[in-house]
Amino acid sequence: MFRSVFQLGMDRRRWLAVIAALGCGLSTAASGEEQDGALRVLCYNIHYGQGMDGRYDIPRLAAVINQTKPDLVALQEVDVGVKRSDRVHQALELGRLTGLAVRFGPTQHYEGGLFGNAVLTRLPILDVAIHPLPYTESTPERVTYPRGAIAVVVQGPGGQPIRFVSTHFQHNVPEDRVEQAKAVNGLFADLDDPLPTILAGDINALPDSEPVRILRERWTDAMDDPPAPTVPSDKPTSRIDYIFYRPQTQFRLAQAEVIAEVMASDHRPVLAVVELVGQ
């Protein structure tokens, strides 16, 4: 059975200190590219660094990210110190190669290391929090994984605080995805919460599925029209990766596309350009 990092009973202060340390040494200064109010947002499941050719290649992934010139990046399936990926701290390495600040949100122990979600950003980071999501425990008949979300608050255009969330829903338990969507709405989309928020992740669900419908009750989908598939990256047939934002009145969608990258991961990255309005 895979151990969730949320089951360790760690003191919360100590845990947050560990997460903060993962970003040490990386600049959180804004570049100025976002001054016009537009934010370039990327969502990318990096398949723990392994491309469709079987190679673990973090510089290749960093090149894909750099080509999109993002302000905010939500990453899923990130290894830190894991045996299969040669013990590389993939979060810090991607931060170094992109010049972006990084925060890592582990969800489980795996092969002597940690596995989970991460955020990269060129904006100043004001706060970070990691939240477990509900999931079904593994059994001998069905292997499942602990799931979570990492949320950072950054200083956006005009000094406006913006929450940015990276998450990854369960791959093989439909009921888990439904409960995870409800949990995300409860955590980040309370109707009384005025903080502009962008949610990005591998939802492991199609656009017309119940988990996506639940999310759309509280979020606006930054979706290209028609929605392009994101998996598998070499010959994609299904759309399971998304970017959402809320409240709708504080954002305008300027661009949405799936990047035609066929090799670096088994997912294609999703890009949205949103403009913050009503400041």
With a cut of 90, say whether residue 260 has pLDDT above it: yes
Q: Is the pLDDT assigned to residue 69 strictly greater than 80?
A: yes
Confidence of residue 6 (pLDDT cuts 50, 70, 90): low
Interval 214-230: pLDDT, tens: 999 999 999 999 999 99
Amino acid at 131: H
Average pLDDT, the chain: 91
Comparing 169 with 9, the larger pLDDT belongs to 169
Q: What is residue 3's DSSP assignment?
A: P
Cα dihedral 167, 172, 175, 180 in deg (nearest 10):
-10
* pTM across the whole model: 0.91
Strand partners, 113: 110
Question: Rounded mean pLDDT of 111-131?
Answer: 98
**pLDDT tens, position by position, 23-63:** 543 444 444 444 468 999 999 999 999 999 999 999 999 99
One-character DSSP codes across 36-65 = TSEEEEEEEE-GGGB-TTS-B-HHHHHHHH
pLDDT at position 37 is 84
**HEC-encoded secondary structure of 117-178:** EEEEECCCEEEEEEEEECCCCCCCCCCCCCEEEEEEEEECHHHCEEEEEEEECCCCCHHHHH
Residue by residue, DSSP assigns 67-81 as HT--SEEEEEEEEES
**In the chain, pLDDT over 70 holds for what percent of residues?**
86
Asked if the peptide bond before residue 236 counts as cis, ω within 30 degrees of 0, the response is: no
Distance CA 42, CA 61 (A): 13
CA distance 259 to 257: 6
Nearest to 150 by CA among 22, 257, 3: 22
Residue 141 banded pLDDT, cuts 50, 70, 90 = very high
Cα separations (Å) of 213 from 155, 207, 210, 243, 261?
30, 8, 5, 14, 27
What average pLDDT does this structure show over 1-15? 50
| pLDDT higher at 37 or 85 | 85
Q: Residue 83, SS3?
A: helix
- Give the model's pLDDT for residue 279: 54
What token pair was written down for 230? 């994101």
Q: What percent of the chain has pLDDT over 90?
A: 86
